[in-house]
Amino acid sequence: MSSTVLFRRGRVIDPRNGVDGVRDVLVRDGKVVEVSEALLPVPSSAEVVDATGKWVLPGFIDLHVHLREPGEEGKETVLTGCRAAVAGGFTAVVAMPNTKVVNDNAMVTELVLNRARAAGLCHVYPAGAITKGLKGEELAEMGELVSAGCVAITDDGRPVMNASLMRRTLQYATQFDVPVMVHEEDLTLSAGGAMHEGTTSTRLGLRGIPASAEVAMVARDLVLLEETKGRLHVAHVSCEGSVRLIREAKRSGLRVTCEVAPHHFILDDRAVGDYDTHAKMAPPLRADTDVQALREALVDGTVDAIATDHAPHGVLDKQVEFEKGINGIVGLETALGLTLELVHAGVLTANRAVELLTHGPAKAFGLPGGHLAPGAPADVTVVDPDVEWTVDAHQFHSRSRNTPFHGRKQKGRVIQTWVAGHRVFDKGQVGQSKESR
């Protein structure tokens, strides 16, 4: 594979560097060398990618992905998760620690990193657990996790219910300057709930999860954040109340960032329809007014990143009574299309949409990439903004198919993904991993 690549005449959208226009992008030895308005001469031995009419973007970064390895390899592995990632245009993913051996120690962190290296497709940044075994009782060895390569700590999937423990977590984490990523759910308020509490839950006779289950915890943690001067990242924000509090906290200078998942800004609780477990996740799909508030927060900068909360599950986890259905949907391969729906609808500019997938998440977690200035990693996603296609879960590169978006019409699709100057996805095919090379 060529180590010099010239992306010709694509529309480069690089929000961090204020670029939005037709450019040539030259990359060499895994780095961006030059971004030029003028035609660049083709270096000898360079591979030329004709990007006319296409978008040439910094590789997408997903702060919230469940790769399921170790422990639930039937749902996903680091390899299949990376395949799904690059197929969706993601060149970096943050892997959640709630695997079936919890990533609460360096051995598990290293296992994930080794598997990612072997896959050789995209960057995988593990997140370590806040508490041992995600039990919410004792702190995991944060120093060890960070030095092993964890970029954030989180008990994702579960809240830290104990306020004192949460306060100490924020305090302790300040010495490493890692974000504390929180799944905000007061379990006493959400107990037994299967979907958002509202007219639809009343109609369907399903126990509701009130918005306050999230908002009350966001409020608590922002108070603790102010006191500890720590760094907080609120995962998968789902409702208006949370957005309002985070907006206000940002204005007052607190170090808080947050992410929103595409399903939360596209669907509302009515998508549960006829007890469709593919519309079941935590936090649940909320009211249309919440969807509206999330969209406004994506626009005004309250939200830092679009993150998928890619949560692979098997058929048997979903083909059950709604109350028994397991939470979560896969998201890596549908994220761009759903984000572009907001662009087509005039809610987001293309520039802002790209920022939420690239520089926004990079900045929130302090990760490399997310932009295309000279010297930046040659992580590039090429998008055809005009192609119309239909989501087909059977074609997913992920090992799982659990999505409520099967059959949804989309406009705009990833056609190529490059990581460190190597082509890892092209025309629907994931490049050979190093393992099989």
Partner 1 sequence: MPRTTLDVPHAPGYAAPPAMRHLLGIEGWRRDELESLLDRAKAHLPGAPDTTHLLRGKVVANLFFEDSTRTRTSFHMAAKGLGASVLNWTHTGSSVSKGETLLDTARNIEATGPVAIVMRHRSSGAPHLVAKHVKCAVINAGDGTHEHPSQALLDAFTLRQRWGSLDGRTVLIVGDVLHSRVARSNLHCLKALGAQVVMCGPPTLMPPGLESLGAEVTYNLDAVLPRADAVMCLRVQLERQEQAFLPSTREYARLFGLNAAREERMKAGAVVMHPGPINRGVELAPAVADGARSVILEQVSNGVAVRRAILEVCTA
Give the other-Cβ count within 10 Å of 53's Cβ: 12
Q: Check binding of 204 to partner 1 (CB under 8 A).
A: yes
Q: Cα separation of 188 and 235, whole Å? A: 19
CA–CA gap between residue 159 and residue 217 (Å, rounded)? 9
Could you say whether residue 301 binds partner 1 (CB under 8 A)?
no
Please list, residue by residue across 88-100, b when 16 or more beta carbons sit within 10 angstroms of its beta carbon and e when fewer do.
Answer: bbbbbbbbbbbbe
Choose one: 131-139, 272-280, 355-363, 421-429; the region binding partner 1 (CB under 8 A).
272-280
- Give the chain's length: 437
| Selected binder of partner 1 within 78, 140, 148, 348 (CB under 8 A) | 348
For the bound state, the minimum distance from the C-beta of residue 300 to partner 1, rounded and expressed in Å, comes to 8
- Is residue 209 involved in binding partner 1 (CB under 8 A)? no
Specify the residue, 118 or 204, whose C-beta has the smaller distance to partner 1. 204
Q: Which amino acid makes up residue 399?
A: R
Instruction: Determine the size of the site formed for partner 1 (CB under 8 A).
Output: 43
Query: Of the two residues 130 and 336, which places its CB atom closer to partner 1 in the complex?
Result: 336
Can you name the residues that pair with 153 across neighbouring β-strands? 128, 180
Closest to partner 1 by CB, 207 or 363: 207
Query: Is residue 320 at the binding interface for partner 1, with CB under 8 A as the rule?
Result: yes
Give the C-alpha separation, 185 to 115, whole Å.
Answer: 31
Report, in Å, the least distance between residue 335 CB and partner 1.
15
Residue 318 to residue 29: CA distance in whole angstroms = 45
- Which one among 120, 198, 369, 370 touches partner 1, defined by CB under 8 A? 198
Question: Nearest approach, Cβ of 339 to partner 1 (angstroms)?
Answer: 11
DSSP 168-230: HHHHHHTTTT--EEE----HHHHTT--EESSHHHHHHT--EE-THHHHHHHHHHHHHHHHHT-
The helix (run of H) or strand (run of E) holding residue 77 is none
Stretch that binds partner 1, among 4-12, 100-108, 202-210, 418-426 (CB under 8 A): 202-210
155 is in an annotated binding site: no
309 is catalytic: yes
Annotate each residue in 404-423 with x if it binds partner 1 (CB under 8 A) or - if it does not, as one string: x---x---------------
CA nearest neighbour of 256 among 304, 184, 306: 304
Catalytic residue among 309, 317, 384, 392: 309
402 among annotated binding-site residues: no
Q: Which residues bind partner 1 (CB under 8 A)?
A: 197-208, 266-268, 270-276, 279, 292, 295-296, 299, 316, 319-324, 341-342, 345-349, 404, 408
Residues that are catalytic: 309
